[in-house]
Amino acid sequence: MARLTMKFGGTSVGSSEAIAQVVEIVREHQSDGHELALIVSAMSGVTDMLLDSATAAAAADEDACRAINDALRAKHAAAVDSLISAERARVAILAEVDGLLAAHIELCEAVRILGEVTPRITDALVSFGERLSSRVIAAAMQDAGLPAKQFDSQRLIVTDNQFQNADPLWQATEERINNGLRPDLAAGLMPVITGFIGATPDGTITTLGRGGSDFSAAIIAACLEADELIIWTDVDGVMTADPRLDQRARVLPYVSYQEIGELAFYGAKVLHPKTVQPIISRGIPLRVRNTFNPGHSGTLIGERTQASATVIKAVTGIRDVSMLTVSGRGMLGVPGIAGRTFLATAKAGASILMISQSSSEQSFCFTVIDPLAQSVKAAVETELQQEIQHQDIDSVDVLSDIVIITVVGSGMRGTPGVAGRVFSLLGERRINVLAIAQGSSECSISFIVAEDDLETAVAELHSLALETVENDRVNGVGSPY
């Protein structure tokens, strides 16, 4: 018997048919004797509907808010009617749904009166998605004879007050989970827990960032000391490339924590970038599997680097970014310019995705997401106003219509010629590289090209990944576990 933490994403619970499939997956694992804790996302499309209700409320569009509320009820009521056969149970769960939706309308009314949507209110509004879905799913499982019990994660995951992107307070969270979850597991119950949501120590609802249900599942897995965390989604696993860019993309049977961290950060949508953080120090393996193809074993993610011939495992790209360049001959040997620039960027609310600096110290560049590029430029120019006036810095320039492409593989470490082969291929296809960055871990190489070159570059570099992955298959190299 293993203790498994299983997370089901929005598409996995997006309809009554999908939820019925989840019930069967859970039943099969329970019949194998496993102890299960389940984390669920909102039904697909619901979070966007809730965000739309916030926008409508701020615009004083009461009719739109009520229309969205009605659509939310219809979506969840349809699932209840399809999945729950017992009349008394149906009535009870619909009463809970109606209670939550009444609270949603009340909050929309508060936004309408206030005339704006603060991050704090946004978190409260979008939390209704998981609070609704978890109740419907738990009721469906109970109707199927499974010992499910619904839990709101704001009673389990304690966070700071960084609304819309909160971080857990680990000691308090572990205490809450030990006291509020472990006894029910020990009693044979199967928790069905809201993903994405936490709360400050005083009980104010927060969220862990868009897609944060993966992160909350990893937090719970770590605190429960799970034997494995399984992320159930709508793809067979982590792939060698985005199949929308190259149809040759294949599922990777195994990747390391370090590799998946690079892939998640640089555009692979399978996992939230923070997912591996809570489990890596405890050595908990993670598996990505497909709810709609449960016979596929998926991708196993673990702590060990795979001994193999694979040099490049995957190629990924991130769109909608801009590159800012700070340049000037007066920067040479002047300490603190880069530090002040990055501090100003952080104050503007932007994360830096990639950094590159010339050895002459006369320029450096970094990338941020497109929507924040101009505000970051303004913040940096304000911070460096004196240097710009003295002409030590010539300009802060923004270049859009670019992409970051990253090749990932722990096999690159210590392998001569990898970068040369990568850039030779790009040169042969007349693709101009605008900036390059490689971490000291040698697990990835990232570079910037024009957005128009994305598909060609990914296809060419993906051929390298497919070549080395195929070598592993022929040589019978698998997971190190």
Pairwise CA distance, residues 199 & 201, whole Å: 7
CATH, domain 3-234, list 3.40.1160.10, 2.60.40.1730, 1.10.760.10, 3.40.50.720: 3.40.1160.10
Beta strands (DSSP E) in 70-167 are: 148-151
User: Under CATH, which architecture does the 314-475 domain have?
Assistant: 2-Layer Sandwich (3.30)
What does the domain layout of the chain look like in residue ranges? 3-234, 314-475
pLDDT tens sequence for the chain (481 residues): 899 999 999 999 999 999 999 999 999 999 999 999 999 999 999 999 999 999 999 999 999 999 999 999 999 999 999 999 999 999 999 999 999 999 999 999 999 999 999 999 999 999 999 999 999 999 999 999 999 999 999 999 999 999 999 999 999 999 999 999 999 999 999 999 999 999 999 999 999 988 789 999 999 999 999 999 999 999 999 988 888 888 898 998 998 888 887 777 665 667 777 888 899 889 999 999 999 999 999 999 998 765 445 578 889 888 999 999 999 887 877 788 889 999 999 999 898 999 998 766 688 999 999 999 999 999 999 999 999 998 889 999 999 999 999 998 876 766 777 888 889 999 999 999 999 988 656 688 999 999 999 999 999 999 888 876 555 555 555 555 4
In the sheet that holds 395-408, the strands lie side by side as 354-357, 363-369, 314-327, 395-408, 444-450, 435-438
Q: Which residues of 153-179 are buried (b: 16+ CB within 10 A; e: fewer)?
A: bbbbbbbeeebbbbebbeeebbebbee
Contact 462, 241 (CB under 8 A): yes
Residue 303 CB-density burial (10 A; 0-12 exposed, 13-18 middle, 19+ buried): middle
Compute the distance between CA of residue 219 and CA of residue 111 in angstroms, rounded to an integer: 31
> What letter does residue 43 receive in the DSSP assignment?
P
